[in-house]
Chains A and B, each alone.
Chain A
């Protein structure tokens, strides 16, 4: 089963987080990604740019609306996504617990509904 571990976290302003703290979190994420990889459960890992760089696309009544900025103004934004292939929710939760982001944000664990693989959409195994 494929799960996305979605990291939601408050977005610090530039300079809010001292460089040495950033370096320590980078090291923690480095270890986390390597651990996921070593367990052969990692599909992909992305840490996202700030929501101010995001663009939203909507199609309403036949017209495309492209807007800059995040979809909704909330305190916490999607900050990263780790896609893992594990047998079940318990295993996905075991990995979510290890995510460094869980210490300052919230990890949402969501199963994939359908996955595009080898040229077509498939039910996740």
Chain B
């Protein structure tokens, strides 16, 4: 009995994981109230855990969960002091819900557009998407973003209230406005991938990106982002030593890379390229793909990488993209040329930008300017609040010189 109960529990948990986002999207789209939908769905899972060990898992568990959650929501509305005038649908609870209840369109896409709506605080978009679409634990999100848990909870609550009170519509924007509404969705997913160098949510970013790619298979940049997250996640295990010290890309052992994820990323990238609409995420994915090629060829095509980085800087001239270009210029033209590119970057931000100092230090070391390199490493270390990265930077002044050693 205990063993069977455990199995039901485990299977319920796996159903919960697989269907959480889909169910929440359907429930929330009806009421516009994400928090209420979350509560109702949580109640439904609790009820499943108490009912299913005795009755067995129903034939259509998702439909069962949806019906129970929907009824919970209704009861809540009905018992609320401020009874609304919204007509309620037939409140009779079907004893064995039909699968058709959950056969409607997948509404996760609408939910993603709601999470990344322009009216939502940009800092809340990625956490909101992780919590609602993937059902990720708030504590885990707070840890990944290095935000105290109460601060994150407050941010999420505010965003959900805003969605409900301002009536942000659960819909996919019309084609005319899609070009302006899709980028924030991509940015929010990219946000899960680009938190610090450790990428604590690499696989979650991949989940979101592949979900979006399934729902919008005709958008080149959607496919590009899926490719980027897959290729990057393929190196998660190789990025740190067992002791947590940073391992730069060029020193990673390709046998520690995840080959299935590399293949998945390459497939997404091929599909994206077939649409002939280049973009920033496709370029970033192509850069990752060029690095992954080392596993096959044993070398890295520096000239190709430089071209890709130049194209990226033209399309999306961020500070990070410029610093990465400086590193590839250093690889192809020598450290002096790389340093010259770094010197051309202006503004206050670059002076406090840790990657700029780490790259400068590396280029100086390779140019044989040991004293200046040491000083630049010191500066980079002073700007590094992560212990694993600091550990690696500390040994650099004494390490031999290779090429572009700061890449992750």
Which A residues have a C-beta under 8 Å from some C-beta of B? 21, 24-25, 28, 35, 38-39, 86-88, 90-91, 93-95, 97-98, 100, 103-104
Contact = CB atoms under 8 A, between A and B. Distances in A.
Given A88-B382, A95-B385, A103 B147 contact: yes
Contact of A86 (B147, B151, B352, B382): B382
Max chain A CB contacts within 10 Å: which of B150, B352, B387?
B150
Interface string B373-406: 0000011001111010010000000000000000
21 contacts: A24-B148, A24-B150, A28-B148, A35-B385, A38-B387, A39-B385, A39-B390, A87-B378, A87-B382, A88-B382, A90-B382, A90-B383, A91-B382, A94-B352, A94-B384, A94-B385, A95-B385, A98-B385, A100-B148, A103-B148, A104-B151
**A-B complex: 3 closest residue pairs judged by Cβ atoms:** A91-B382, A28-B148, A103-B151
B385 A90 contact: no
Interface in B135-159: 146-151
A94 B383 contact: yes
A96 to B, nearest CB: 10
A86 B385 CA distance: 12
Nearest to A97: B385
Nearest to B383: A94
Contacts of B149: 24, 28
Contacts of B161: none
A50 B367 CA distance: 55
B351 interface: yes
Contacts of A28: 148-149
Contacts of A35: 385, 387
Binding site secondary structure of chain A: helix
Most buried by B among A86, A90, A93, A104: A90
Contacts of B384: 94
Contacts, number: 42
Given A90-B379, A90-B382, A104-B151, 19 more contacts: A24-B150, A25-B148, A28-B148, A39-B387, A39-B390, A86-B382, A87-B378, A88-B382, A90-B351, A90-B383, A91-B383, A93-B352, A94-B352, A94-B354, A94-B383, A94-B385, A95-B385, A98-B146, A103-B147
Interface string B353-379: 010000000000000000000000011
A28 B139 CA distance: 12
Name the prevailing secondary structure of the B interface residues. Answer: helix
A104 to B, nearest CB: 7
B243 to A, nearest CB: 13
A121 to B, nearest CB: 26
Contacts of A104: 151
Contacts of A100: 148
Contacts of B385: 35, 39, 94-95, 97-98
B337 to A, nearest CB: 26
Contacts of A39: 385, 387, 390
A86 B351 CA distance: 16
Nearest to A86: B382
A91 B149 CA distance: 25
A9 B156 CA distance: 22
A91 B151 CA distance: 24
Contacts of B146: 98
Contacts of B351: 90
Interface in B238-279: none
A95 B385 CA distance: 7
Nearest to B142: A24
Contacts of B151: 103-104
Contacts of B382: 86-88, 90-91, 94
Contacts of B352: 90, 93-94
A87 B379 contact: yes
